[in-house]
Amino acid sequence: MVDYHASNSQASSGGPAVYMDPREQENDWDRDLLLDPAWEKQQRKTFTAWCNSHLRKAGTQIENIEEDFRDGLKLMLLLEVISGERLPKPERGKMRVHKINNVNKALDYIASKGVKLVSIGAEEIVDGNAKMTLGMIWTIILRFAIQDISVEETSAKEGLLLWCQRKTAPYKNVNVQNFHISWKDGLAFNALIHRHRPELIDYDKLRKDDPLTNLNNAFEVAEKYLDIPKMMDAEDIVGTLRPDEKAIMTYVSCFYHAFSGAQKAETAANRICKVLAVNQENEHLMEDYEKLASDLLDWIRRTIPWLENRAPEKTMAEMQQKLEDFRGYRRVHKPPKVQEKCQLEINFNTLQTKLRLSNRPAFMPSEGRMVSDINGSWHNLEGAEKGYEEWMLNEIRRLERLDHLAEKFRQKATIHESWTDGKEAMLTQKDYETASLSEVKALLRKHEAFESDLAAHQDRVEQIAAIAQELNELDYYDSPSVNSRCQKICEQWDALGSLTQSRRESLERTEKQLESIDELYLEYAKRAAPFNNWMEGAMEDLQDMFIVHNIEEIQGLITAHEQFKSTLPEANKEREAIQAIQAEVQKIAQYNGIKLSGGNPYTTITPKTIDNKWDKVEQLVPQRDQALQEELAKQQSNDHLRRKFATQANIVGPWIQTKMEEIGRISIEMNGTLEDQLVNLREYEQSIIEYKPNIDQLEGDHQLIQEALIFDNKYTAYTMEHLRVGWEQLLTTIARTINEIENQILTRDAKGISQEQLHEYRTSFNHFDKKRTGQMDMDNYRALLVATGNSLGDAEFARIMGIVDPNNSGVVTFQAFIDFMSRETTDTDTADQVIASFKILAADKNFIMAEELRRELPPDQAEYCIARMAPYSGPDAKPGALDYMSFSTALYGESDL
């Protein structure tokens, strides 16, 4: 360090003084060049005005800068005023030594403040050396007026320049690049004043080509309203090619200090704006979640009643349409809602992460809109879907059975009604009253044959009644018509029974009088009637409708049909024997010359009737063969559909399970950076999405199975419903895993966590995650905290659990763990910091006015605060005062507004 108590020889050498600040390294006092006369004039005026702005506080001033500081008294007084400290007591003597000692006391004090003085000695000041005196005053100005100015860790000069640039940036024709020619036109001075006190300057009326007016306007306004003395003459600045930099810096520093309070207010306002912006964004996310949750729940509430509607349809076509509507719901309407549900959970997790990172309380959705509520409603929806599908399939089976029974009822009823047609008229005729004995006997035998025929038809009537009863039990839609027809058949049957009994009694009364009987006709009639009934039964069976559901059932029908065909040769022998009886009658009549009149008196069954029915049976046999073979082909096709679906399902099912297990492993492994994991997971998600055509193919196969009314599949344990749920869970799980990594990146970046720290957190978490589920119970979490260096008592552990598990679920996720670790080790903005910022804007008051908020904050954030701040009710309250303290604490969940 060069001794500033320089000898007279140094002073007489004329070497200029240089000031060296240890932090700023300002080296702007040129050793090699003399002061420019214009600059020296500007410095004299500016430095003199600056000194007087402080000395007047002590009730004095200077007139000539190099003369008035020669005795050191006013120099010491100046330092005391600007520093607020007491210097050693000055010497009051008039001798040169007394003056030198006083100046040295002042220079010693300057040196004690860390200022390095070069070539400035007390003798030069006492001798009135103008250059040395100006250099000394510049040193004082640098140390006490400029050195503490720092913007974004720049040097004092750079900081002051940056401050000027930022404040004047919005103004046209102002471009501050230095502290000399940038200020010549006077617009920069006016811009600084207008930026902080716009009511003092009408900036739009200023012209760049009128620098004298501009400079004088700024100097006069500053002196009159800002208490900044006029330190320069406008004519000197305009008339100088390059104004003196030190004079400009000295004058501009006065503006900086005059507006320093506004600077603090701006800093406070910026902090508040940042906090409010976080809250506004979070509230927007909360509103989006509430709307999406509400829409999804409304859709579920509208859908479940539709799925729970079990109103049966009357026909298969109507029921098939219901099934097709349900398939459309599954294919078209539900998948977007699955994506909405997944996105809702992702949005919820991201919002909670943002709230934790900004030190805000966790988001609690409105009642009934929690993720768990949505999951519960979704579970109810899927339960309703399953029940609805099962009900529809059962209804289709029931309607299929009903259609089969109804058709069977109509066939048997038609056959029976055809048989009974005219029977009542036959049973009520009185032909036996005028008949001969032989005719009466014939009538009696004929009646016996009819009774046999009647008894043979008893089974059909019972079958008709049984089918009608089953249709009633199965709630057949046309049951009234069936019941009416069945009732008519039963009543007619009872009437036929009564009429038959009455006719028999009448014939038996007459039988004693009639003895002639034709045995041969009687035998024919007796054998023809059962054979005729057998053929009718055979024709009925061959035309009987059938319904089967698998190959085994149709093969059983084919076997039974083959057994029936094996009995046809024996039946044909019986037919030939019956026809031989009729032939014998003809032979005997012809041989005995008997003229037969009419047909067989004992039966209406003629040989031609028997042959016609036999021909019909022979025609129906191959038709039955064909129908059975067609059904066999259909069942074989159905079996092919079952195998095709099963083959694909047995591949897709294990694939989904494998992918679920792989995602579980990926979520707890640590391969590369989080960005690497995110890239890998997205590629993995893309590979899963590319597998979608296999699911679509399976859906197509499943639709073919349902359209074929196939209700079981012995080749696979997988159902389409099971695979759909697995696929949806797979898509949801990979999306959630990606979201967890994104939230970890968000946490890492916001909290400044290094990759190594995150790796250490994951390793520690995995060690205690015994089941590899990505979450752990309270005991394992306590062990994890101890292992990571946390000293835990019961109260501290309860506090931590309140942070990581606010819903008391009993488990802690990895995301909650790293949120806690980063929260415990990272600084965040606090309610106290926000309160301090508001206090600056409120000029140290305990309340703030609406107009102050509107003046200091952007319009939207000012109105945001005004709308949410409660009226201030303290003892110093004013009308319209607002309580910023309770508002600030409420932002962090520490109290309620």
Q: What CA–CA distance (Å, rounded) separates 246 from 141?
A: 9
Q: If you search the block for the tokens 């965040």, which residue do you land on?
A: 828
Q: Are the C-beta atoms of 120 and 132 separated by less than 8 Å?
A: yes
Tokens found for residue 799: 């506090």
CATH of the domain at 854: 1.10.238.10
Whether 800 and 878 map to the same domain: the answer is no
Would 628 be classed as within a structural domain?
yes
Cα 499 to Cα 774: distance, rounded to the nearest angstrom: 88
pLDDT score, position 437 = 56
765 is a domain residue: no
For residues 712 and 794, membership in a common domain is answered with: no
Q: Rounded CA gap, 228 and 254, in Å?
A: 7
Owner of token pair 């029976």: 416
Does 813 share its domain with 836? no
Q: Which residues contact 867 (CB under 8 A, 6 or more apart)?
A: none
Q: Do 294 and 355 belong together in one domain?
A: yes
Q: Per residue, what are the HEC states of 602-670?
A: CCCCCHHHHHHHHHHHHHHHHHHHHHHHHHHHHHHHHHHHHHHHHHHHHHHHHHHHHHHHHHHHHCCCC
Give 20's strand partners.
116
Structure token pair of residue 878: 């004013």
- Which parts of 20-126 fold into alpha helices (H)? 37-55, 65-68, 73-83, 96-112, 122-126
Domain boundary among 360, 377, 401: 401
470 within a domain of the structure (yes/no): no
pLDDT at 458: 85
Q: Please classify residue 393 by burial: count the beta carbons closer than 10 Å to its beta carbon, then call 0-12 exposed, 13-18 middle and 19+ buried.
A: middle
Q: Count Cβ atoms below 10 Å from residue 103 Cβ, excluding itself.
A: 28
CB contact set of 756 (below 8 Å; sequence gap of 6+): none
Contact predicate 75/90, CB 8 Å = no
Per-residue b/e over 570-580, b at no fewer than 16 CB within 10 Å?
A: ebeeebeebbe
Q: List Cβ neighbours of 783 (8 Å cut-off, separation of 6 or more).
A: 768
**pTM exceeds 0.75:** no
Q: Are residues 794 and 875 in the same domain?
A: no
Residue 379 lies in a domain: yes
Specify the pLDDT at position 745: 85
3-class SS shares of the chain: helix, strand, coil, % to 5: 70, 0, 25
pLDDT at 202: 92
Q: Is residue 274 part of a domain?
A: yes
SS3 882: strand
Q: Which of 353, 385, 401 is the last residue of a domain?
A: 401
Q: What are phi and psi of 642, to 5 degrees?
A: -60, -45
Among 501, 353, 417, 499, CA closest to 823: 353
Residues 625, 679, single domain; the answer is yes
In a domain, 436, yes or no: no
Residue 539 included in any domain: no
In what helix (H) or strand (E) does residue 812 lie, and over which residues does it extend? Answer: strand 811-813
Burial of residue 798 (CB within 10 Å: 0-12, 13-18, 19+) is exposed
| Average pLDDT per block of 10 residues along the chain, 897 residues long | 30 33 37 57 91 91 92 92 90 89 92 81 90 91 80 76 90 93 94 92 93 94 91 90 91 88 70 82 89 92 90 81 87 90 90 85 89 91 88 82 83 87 86 66 83 85 87 82 89 88 78 51 83 89 83 87 89 89 74 61 86 91 90 88 91 92 74 82 90 91 86 87 90 88 82 74 77 78 75 78 83 79 65 86 89 87 92 88 90 56
- Looking at the fold, whether 691 and 795 belong to one and the same domain comes out as no
Can you tell me whether residue 415 is helix, strand or coil? helix
Measured distance CA(145)–CA(825) in Å, rounded: 39
Residue 16 C-beta-side C-alpha neighbours within 13 Å? 17
Q: Identify the domain containing residue 382 by its residue range.
A: 267-401
Please count the CA atoms within 13 angstroms of the CA of 267 that sit on its side-chain side.
11
pLDDT for the residue 435: 60
- In order, the DSSP letters of 816-857 are HHHHHHHHHHS----HHHHHHHHHHHTTT-SSB-HHHHHHHS
β-strand pairing of 775-777 with 116-118: unpaired
Joined tokens for residue 306: 């539709």
Residues 812 and 839 in one domain: no
305/397 same-domain check: yes
Number of structural domains (the chain) is 4
The pLDDT score that the predictor gives to residue 27 is 39
d(CA 483, CA 470): 11
Assess whether 353 and 275 both reside in one domain. yes
For residue 623, the domain's CATH number is: 1.20.58.60
Alpha carbons 678 and 741: distance in angstroms, whole number: 6
Task: Look at residue 20 and give its three-state secondary structure.
Answer: strand
What is the rounded CA–CA span in Å between residue 47 and residue 50? 5
CA–CA gap between residue 479 and residue 468 (Å, rounded): 8
Task: Kindly state whether residue 633 falls inside one of the protein's structural domains.
Answer: yes
Q: Which of 218-224's residues contact partners 24+ apart within 8 Å by CB, and which partners?
A: 218/186, 218/189, 218/190, 218/193, 219/189, 221/193, 222/189, 222/193, 222/254, 222/255
On whether both 810 and 859 belong to a single domain, the answer is no
Same structural domain, 331 and 396: yes
Measured at the alpha carbon of residue 608, what is the angle toward residues 605 and 609, in degrees to the nearest 5?
A: 45
Q: Which of 358, 382, 401 is the last residue of a domain?
A: 401
- For residue 673, the SS3 value is coil
What pLDDT sits at residue 883? 92
Beta bridge partners of 766: none
